[in-house]
């Protein structure tokens, strides 16, 4: 009986050690700082799918997130003139995007994987309250 208990203890210790080795990424704090590619689900040239829409750089200065478009601006899309009120709680990422004469868009994204978020862009009213969904969005971070 002692040998059995000892063997059980050794095996459970080995399994716990193996599990810790498999999940170090999950133990690290998650943040959204980096370079992100935005993909929007829409019909382009007869193909409805996620299409590349731009690249954004996200930084954190004095505890506040800052975000700006640094990549391609496509003529068929409304391009951001500035991003504000960026919030991230570990799983959900939200922000407002100034679309110039088209108003302000609101983005609500949920983490799918460490470097991938999915959600929607929304039109907003004059008080910046989201009013209706516009299009599905996928954001993928470049490897750090």
Give the pLDDT confidence of 4-15 residue by residue, as tens digits.
444 434 445 444
Does residue 55 contact residue 68 with C-beta atoms inside 8 Å? no
Average per-residue pLDDT for the chain: 83
Share of the chain above pLDDT 90, in %: 65
DSSP letters along 15-50, please? HHHHHHHH-HHHHSPP---EEEEEEEEEEETTEEEE
Q: Quick one: pLDDT at residue 29?
A: 57
**pLDDT at position 1, please?**
54
Q: What is the pTM of this model?
A: 0.76
- The answer to which of 58-62, 78-82, 84-88 has the lowest mean pLDDT is 78-82
| Phi, psi angles (nearest 5°) of residue 13 | -65, -40
CA distances from 40 to 4, 23, 51 (A): 58, 31, 5
Residue owning tokens 């498999």: 22
Q: Is the pLDDT of residue 144 over 80?
A: no
What's the pLDDT score for residue 37? 97
pLDDT for 17 equals: 42
Over residues 106-127, mean pLDDT: 96
**Predicted pLDDT at 77:** 77
C-alpha dist (Å) from residue 142 to 57, 85, 138: 10, 22, 13
DSSP assignment letter at 91? S
Confidence check: pLDDT of 112 > 80: yes
Where do the domains of the chain lie, and which CATH numbers do they carry? 30-141 (2.40.128.120)
Question: pLDDT confidence of 28, banded at 50, 70, 90?
Answer: low
């Amino acid at each position: 009986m002692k040998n059995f208990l000892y063997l059980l203890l050794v095996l459970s210790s080995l399994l716990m050690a193996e599990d810790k080795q498999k999940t170090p990424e999950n133990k690290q704090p998650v943040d959204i700082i980096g370079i992100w590619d935005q993909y929007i689900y829409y019909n382009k040239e007869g193909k409805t799918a996620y299409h590349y829409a731009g690249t954004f750089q996200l930084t954190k200065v004095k505890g506040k997130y800052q975000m700006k478009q640094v990549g391609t601006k496509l003529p068929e899309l409304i391009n951001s003139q500035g991003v504000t009120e960026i919030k991230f709680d570990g799983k959900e990422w939200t922000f407002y995007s100034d679309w110039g004469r088209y108003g302000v868009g609101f983005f609500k994204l949920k983490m799918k994987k460490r470097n991938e978020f999915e959600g929607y862009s929304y039109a907003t009213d004059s008080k910046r309250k989201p009013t209706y969904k516009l299009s599905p969005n996928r954001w993928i971070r470049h490897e750090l």
